Structure 1
Amino acid sequence: MNTVGLPSYVGGLYCCYDGTQCKVKNGVESVERSIYLKYTVKWVDWSDSIVPVKVFILDVTDTWQHTGIHDCLIEYDIEKSTTGVASNSFTSTARSSMVLPIDGDVVYGVAHQHSGGIGSALYGEDGRVICSSKPIYGQGKSAGDEAGYIVGMSTCYPKPGSVRVVKGEALTLESNYSSEKSHTGVMGLFYILVADSSNLNQPAQIHEESKVPIFFWGVSMFGLAVCVAVLVTYNRRKQNEDGYLSIAT
């Protein structure tokens, strides 16, 4: 599948950008449909029992250690292995490292991969596993269980204080894909939530929930597919104030 102006681009995020359509077989006619999706939002009232966290979005394609600046490709290709049959190994591994600008405790972690993914892991500078996340593949035809597609990723919820990261520590992100066949436009992202350990308290109980259109979630997920960044979440004094802080180079 080629895109205008990118004759060598065979598939990925930029195949169907704004104002264009994906290539289809001759004779295929589009059918207009109305699709409605929803998701659930849960929240709590702000109190001293809530600990602010910083959300780190790590991208395995980030090459800042080579260029001096963050340079995320966001997506990359997996070439079909030409030696896997002989060695019985069909794993393609990509790695990148980045330095955290804060101290804190990791309280949540999850990877983001596409079809062909076989797992991702984040390691500390001493080689310890901070979080390992495996794909969950669908088995059927129903929505959310599509066979051959990743429908979820395993998550990590470390007990507060059990997985600590230190300011200036170099973390290594590893993303593994099957190379039994080629895959285009895959991603190797990893999200972690880091809390200030000095403020850890018992969590407040969630007491409200509301269903809203999923369009907001779609926008949020697209926003996550950006270069490595730190989302500064709720500030105790200014709950509506947030911003981005680049990871130290």
Structure 2
Amino acid sequence: KMAADTSVEILQKVLENEILQTTKVVEEHLDAEMQKLDQMDEDELERLKQRRLEALKKAQQQKQEWLSKGHGEYREIPSERDFFQEVKESKNVVCHFYRDTTFRCQIMDKHLTVLAKKHVETKFLKLNAEKSPFLCERLRIKVIPTLALVKDGKTQDYVVGFTDLGNTDDFTTETLEWRLGCADIINYSGNLMDPPFQSQKKYGTSFTKLDKKTIRGKKYDSDSDDD
């Protein structure tokens, strides 16, 4: 017992020392930043303020441009022709190929609705696979649901079924967000090396990764199961 108590005390001291060192680094950084501000004259402070205001203004203008192109909401497009127009307008597009009779499409809808509002930088769409036979044939979409991840008019990646999402119907919105972040189709702020779902050894993290596959005519292989 004494040995165990000693080990605990040593561990506590090590942790306390690490915390103190981290705190010291943060304080030194803050002190340096404060010193910079103190050394600035009024003109320099005014220029700094203007640069920040310009950056905020530019970010707001960009957001308004995205919203004007249909970003910020998860919506259905009626036809294949609309698909090509939509991906032409926006740099980053997530398109859910769904079918009314497939229950898992409703699960995907729920998560995409949340992410569309959070990630305004990306356009989120859905298209009925039964009404888009040309696209489904060209993209070789056999599994429903499938997400086509389109960047600069080219399909860069696919999320086929729930395989990359922990292989479960109960995956979280954060898991799908992480998967889209891996494809660089959204601005992901988390750690890509740390998937939100647990038991990675059980589920695996293999992706149906495709590089620079164009929308027109490129193919990929997948399972033929559609549920």
Would you call these one fold, judging by a TM-score over 0.5?
Answer: no
More strand by share: 1
Q: Give TM-score scaled by structure 1 length.
A: 0.20
More helix by share: 2
Q: Give TM-score scaled by structure 2 length.
A: 0.21
